[in-house]
Amino acid sequence: MKAIRWSLERSSLVALFVTTLGVFICTRFFYISLMDTKCQVFTPEACSGSTRNLETGPEAMYIPLNCSMGELSGTCPANYYLSQVSAEAPSSCPDYFSWIYEDLSPWRETGITREMVMKARRTANFRLVVVDGKAYVERYSKSFQSRDSFTLWGILQLLRRYPAKLPDLDLMFDCGTLPVIMKDTFRASNYPAPPPVFAYCGNDSTMDILFPDWSFWGWPEIRIKPWQLLSKELKEGNTRTRWTDREPYAYWKGNPNVAATRMDLLKCNVSDKQDWNARVYAQNWGLELKNGYKQSDLASQCIHRFKIYIEGVAWSASQKYIMACDSVTLLVKPIFHEFFTRSLMPLKHYWPIKDEDKCRSIKHAAQAVGKAASSFILDDLKMDYIYDYMFHLLSEYAKLLKYKPTVPEKASELCSELLACRAKGLEKKFMVDSLVGPASTQPCTMPPPYSPAYLHSVIERKDNGMKQVDTWEREYWKKS
C-alpha cells in the first residue's frame, strides 16, 4: 500500500511539474513572440536579453505582451489587463509636481467643455480618450519622427502601471516643438478659456499643458535609449572619472543650424586668438547615422567639468541628459521650459550663462553646482516619478471636464500590443525595453498648490541668482 501511495504521489508531483513547466513555457513564448521569429531586426545581444523584466518600482508585477503567437489580429487582447492591483502606501511627490495646478489654472473657474477640447484639434496630432481604463486614439496628422508613437506608448504604460486607476478623460495632444496656445490670443472677452492642448514645452507667454516628452521611452531615430536604461548608464558614467580629473572645459555637441543662438555659441570655440575654455562641436547627424552613432554615446560624455545646455528651435530634450552628468551645467538663458525645469534654481542646479555674452560667461563659470543638478535629475526625475506626474496631471485634468467622455466615432482602441507588436527595429526594441507592469506602490502623494507668495519668491530667487552671477562676472572681467 505504501508503495502504491508513493507511486501516486510521485505521479501527482510529476503532473504538477509538467503543468507548471507548460504554463511557464507558454508565458515565455507569448513574450518572445513579440520579436520577429528569427530576431532579424535585433542584434544577437538584444535578442538574448529581450526577456528581462525592466519595469520600474520594487517588485512590480510582470505581464508580458500578448502578440497572439506572433500573428496580429488588429485588436487588443480581451480581459488582458488586471482590473485592480493592491499596492503599498504612497510616498510624497517631488516639489515640481505643484506646477500641475498652475498649468491647469486657466480652466479652474470655467471647467473644460467638449467644445473647448474640439477647438484644440486645429494643431493636434492626435486625440486621446480613456474610458473605463481603455485607451482610444483618433489620429489627425503624423508627427515628426516617432514622437506621437512614443508619447502614446508612454500613456499606455501608465495604464499598465496603474490599471483601473486613471479616470475617464478626453484630450488633444500637439507633438510639435513649439507651444501653440498664446496667452494674448485668449485674453479677449469672447474666450472664456483657451482650448486645452497637451504639449512638451511652454514659456511665460503660453498656456500649453506640459507633458513629459517622448524621449523618456526612447528616441530610435538617434538611438537614444529609454530613460529607465539611459539614466542608469549616465549614473555609472559619473563614477568613471572624478570631477577634478575631467577635461577642464565646457562641452557642447549638437546641431547648431536650428537656431541663431547656437550658431553664436560656435564663436566660443578655441581658436588661434582666444581660448574661452569651451569645446563646442557641430553634430553631423547624417555622418553619425552612416557611422552607427559611435560618437554619440551619452554616458561616455560625462568627462568634462562643464557641460553647456542651449535651446534649439525651442526647448531641447537633451537637457536631462546634460544635467544628469556630475559636470557643472552651464545653462544659456532659456526662453522655454518643460514640465520639471521650472523648479531648477541658478547656483543650485546650474550656472547661468548670458545669451548675449556667452563666451565671457562660460569663461567665468565655476564647479559648485554639478552634483546638485545630477542628483535632481537622477533622483527626482526617475521613471517612477515620470509616471506619477502623468497620473496626477491627467487625473487633475479629468476633474475639470464638464462632460462624460465617450469613444469618438473615428477613434480606435489602442494598447501596447498594437504599437509594439507592429513596430520594427529600434522602435520595437525601445518599446519592449520600456514595457512596465502594475506598480507595487500607489502614486506618490501630491504636494499642495503653490501660493501666490511662494510663486513670487521662486521668481525672485531666480532673479537674485542671475544678478549675483552678473555681479561676479563684471568684477571678474574688471580685474582681468
Name the amino acid, one letter, at 360.
R
Three-class secondary structure of residue 444 per DSSP: coil
At 396, phi and psi to the nearest 5? Answer: -65, -35
Residues 6+ positions from 383 with CB-CB distance below 8 Å: 56, 216, 227, 228, 231
Q: What's the average model confidence in pLDDT over 242-247?
A: 86
Quick: pLDDT tens for 369-414.
Answer: 667 778 888 889 999 999 999 999 999 999 999 999 999 999 999 9
What are the boundaries of each domain within the chain? 2-70, 95-213+382-449, 224-337+341-380
**Residues 6 or more apart in contact with residue 219 via CB below 8 angstroms:** 145, 146, 150, 317, 430
pLDDT above 70: residue 220: yes
pLDDT band at 87 (very low <50, low <70, confident <90, very high): low
| pLDDT grade for 340, boundaries at 50, 70 and 90 | very high
d(CA 156, CA 76): 12
| pLDDT range class, residue 52, cuts 50, 70, 90 | very low
| pLDDT, position 241 | 85
Give the pLDDT score at 110.
94
- For 21-44, what is the mean pLDDT? 34
The predicted structure's pLDDT at residue 158: 96
For the segment 61-70, the average pLDDT, to the nearest whole number, is: 67
State if pTM tops 0.85: no
At 86 the pLDDT is 61
**Is the pLDDT confidence value at 95 over 60?**
yes
Please count the residues of the chain.
480
Specify whether the CB–CB gap between 136 and 408 falls below 8 A: yes
Where residue 218 falls (left for φ over 0; alpha for ψ -120 to 50; beta otherwise) is left
pLDDT at residue number 84: 60
CATH of 224-337+341-380 among 3.40.50, 3.30.70, 3.90.1310, 1.10.3470: 3.40.50
